[in-house]
Structure 1
Amino acid sequence: MIRTPIRLADGRELIYFDEHEADRSAADKRELPPPPPASQLRHDPLVDEWVAIAAHRQTRTFLPPSDRCPLCPSTPGFASEIPSSDYDVVVFENQFPSFSDRVVPDEVDHITELVRVEPAVGRCEVVCFTADHDSSFAALTPARVRTVVDVLADRTAEMSGLPGVAQVFPFENRGVEIGVTLHHPHGQIYAYPEVPPRTRTMLQAARRHHERTGGRNLYADVLAAERADGARVVAANEHWTAYVPAAARWPFEVHLAPHRQVADIPALHDAERDAFGPLYLDVLRRFDALFGKPMPYISAWHQAVVGAGRELGYLHLQLFSIRRAADKLKYLAGSESAMQFFINDIVPEKAAEKLRAA
């Protein structure tokens, strides 16, 4: 893999990750405004959680026509975010970031006596998996998936070392039902300034299990139990298992986990990185085959935190869809949205059975 960093017209970083030698001398000649300053974090004292206030994201690009897609290679008639006329995998700083290091001094440190304010320090990047606008992750080759994994390892390692970063989160949103604003196959990477609520809850559970069992890892024990039971296992190979969690929140949800406990993507060895692609592509294609049409999904890498509690982490990928039937979606209505108490319409064992048969 050949790594070539450049700067876009507004100073943002872009990195080409090429599988073969390529000319990356094309310059970004657009006239762009400077990147926005870092967003604001506000602390909600009622639940002890942080919320990012990012007003500049309201103006981000929304479902443009294919000939004006900012993630396609540039053409003589349209200059996109990628100056070159073709690429393999490319990563660049988001033009509308939720978190960034462009901090503008703010004299306000409280909204009220109880609501603290901090700058949303961090980084947000876009990862384009292919130059083909009409493709999808499921259509990639195993070799390209391996490149993507190596890219995520590169970015995780670099972003984990940035000042103030608490956790690095790579993810992909796919489908208008999920809320994507760009159709081009792509993912994102967030470097969070605070440990997100779900990770914090998982750490608390992992720590209790660690203390209760004399040092055992919670996710390792859950994975071992699922592999031994087998009822919810969808597919597996020598290094990875894909299974439906016994207490799945989403109609169709699968975890892909390496058999060896590792903290994050950079810690995967070559054989594990090679083995991930074929299994993940198999699961994605099963998702699409369930109802005979592209499945909307969120694909989320859960990595260990950067600081305290890192030893409790266990890398895994959570893949889930809000589609519960061919013509029905699961909406996060009253119980889920207001109380965060999930109610799943699909029995996890039945979901696993359907995915195995797809």
Structure 2
Amino acid sequence: MSELRWNPLLRTWTMVASNRKHRPTMPRDWCPFCPGEGKKVPEHFTVYAYDNDFPALTTSPDVPYADSTGFYMSAENYGKCEVILYSPEHTAKFYELSIDHIDELLALISERCDALAADERIKYVYPFENKGEAVGVTMPHPHGQLYGYPFVPQKLEVELASAKAYHADHDGHCLFCDMNHAELTAKERIVAENDSFLGYIPFFTDYPYGVFIVAKRHMGYLSECTAKERRDLAEMLKYLTKAFDALFDAPFPYMMVYHQRPVNSEAYADSDEYFHFHIEFYPPFREANKIKYYASSEMGAWAAANTSAVEETAPVLKRLYTQAKEGE
């Protein structure tokens, strides 16, 4: 059974995808993401995108379940799920890839975002990466994913509403541009900076090492990056992920998500005026091998708690980022 079910309490859709129960755990002697091994993976590639074998969303959806009471609402799970292979090397770490390689990866993600956005039934395009067993990764070969939703997910709706309200209340200012200015003024939470992007652990984040990478120039979508901006983003991602692994001298798990403006939506037709492209990291480790769990307060009430003041964690990560960059 695969469909969307409407949650009337939170006013958002839940994706039902029974097929995802059958996702494989990585066999010891075989990887479907390695060159030539899987049905969809070619013999030679640098980066590669293909349709997910176990999609939560599909362009050929089933007829949704009809609730017998007539009270609940369901819909087709129309959309797209893709796998983005970062490298042919099974054990490659993100920061071991060259800047040219990561730039090529970002170009592919950008291209696929535009391709999914061309489908008018898709309303939000969402690239992301899960890294490490602590966040549920079953396939360790370096890869990310790309979802094209037929709706704007709720967290993005909240961000968009906040950014739009700020824009209206502050003489057309962008909330993210002003966040950048505040963080540059304070300096203590800045982790990384180059010509095109800022990396910082925001004043309010709920993860001790929850870095945001925010474009300096106001833009709403990954594909709006110039060649220079995309390469600067590649550089920052390379050294930040290296700094993460240096924190506890061990592979550092995280969720990395790209937040960009919606597509094909009249309700958000003006979102390029107030929304701003950025990347958010959710790393679950608070100390070496100690997980910062999203427990009852966080999950049940959405009342987040951070176990560390970010003014303490940001300087540590900044030092490691600088060392990673200088060590090249």
Shared fold per TM-score greater than 0.5: yes
Of 42, 46, 52, which residue of structure 1 is paired with 2:5? 42
Identity of aligned residues (%): 29
Which amino acid in structure 1 is aligned with residue 8 of structure 2?
Answer: P
Which amino acid in structure 2 is aligned with residue 334 of structure 1?
Answer: S
1:133-148 to structure 2, matched below 5 A, reads 133-148=90-105
Pair 1:291–1:171, CA change in 2 (3 A): same
Of 181, 185, 189, which residue of structure 2 is paired with 1:224? 181
Question: 1:232-276 CA deviation, whole Å, 9 max, x = no partner?
Answer: 000101111100010111121111111101111110011101111
Question: Is 2:110 the partner of 1:153?
Answer: yes
Question: 1:61-100 CA deviation, whole Å, 9 max, x = no partner?
Answer: 11322x32110112xxxx4144432311110000100111
Greater RCO, 1 or 2 (C-alpha within 8 Å, sep 6+): 2
Question: 1:13-62 CA deviation, whole Å, 9 max, x = no partner?
Answer: xxxxxxxxxxxxxxxxxxxxxxxx8x200001011111001001101111
Match of 1:314 in 2: 276
Q: Which structure is higher in helix share?
A: 2
Question: 1:120-144 CA deviation, whole Å, 9 max, x = no partner?
Answer: 1110000001000011212111000
Return the alpha-carbon distance in structure 2 between the equivalents of residues 236 and 334 of structure 1. 36
Match of 1:236 in 2: 193
Match of 1:99 in 2: 57
Structure 1 length normalisation: TM-score? 0.85
TM-aligned CA deviation for residue 163 of structure 1: 3.0
Structure 2 gaps of 5+ residues are: 321-328
Structure 1 gaps of 5+ residues are: 1-36
Pair 1:290–1:215, CA change in 2 (3 A): same
Which amino acid in structure 2 is aligned with residue 344 of structure 1?
Answer: N
Match of 1:59 in 2: 22
TM-aligned CA deviation for residue 339 of structure 1: 1.2
SS of equivalent residue, structure 1 residue 331: coil
Return the alpha-carbon distance in structure 1 between the equivalents of residues 310 and 71 of structure 2. 41
Match of 1:68 in 2: 30
Return the alpha-carbon distance in structure 2 between the equivalents of residues 220 and 111 of structure 1. 49
Which amino acid in structure 1 is aligned with residue 152 of structure 2?
Answer: V
Q: 1:111, 1:117 within 8 Å by CA — same for their partners in 2?
A: no
Structure 2 length normalisation: TM-score? 0.92
Return the alpha-carbon distance in structure 2 between the equivalents of residues 213 and 147 of structure 1. 38
Question: 1:164-198 CA deviation, whole Å, 9 max, x = no partner?
Answer: 11110001100001100100000000001111111
SS of equivalent residue, structure 2 residue 210: strand
TM-aligned CA deviation for residue 110 of structure 1: 4.3
TM-aligned CA deviation for residue 109 of structure 1: 4.7
Return the alpha-carbon distance in structure 2 between the equivalents of residues 295 and 160 of structure 1. 32
Superposed CA RMSD: 1.4
Moved segments of 4+, more than 3 Å: 108-114
Which amino acid in structure 1 is aligned with residue 241 of structure 2?
Answer: L
Question: Is 2:130 the partner of 1:173?
Answer: yes
Return the alpha-carbon distance in structure 2 between the equivalents of residues 105 and 254 of structure 1. 41
Match of 2:299 in 1: 337
Which amino acid in structure 1 is aligned with residue 304 of structure 2?
Answer: F
Q: How many residue pairs were aligned?
A: 315
Of 209, 233, 258, which residue of structure 2 is paired with 1:276? 233
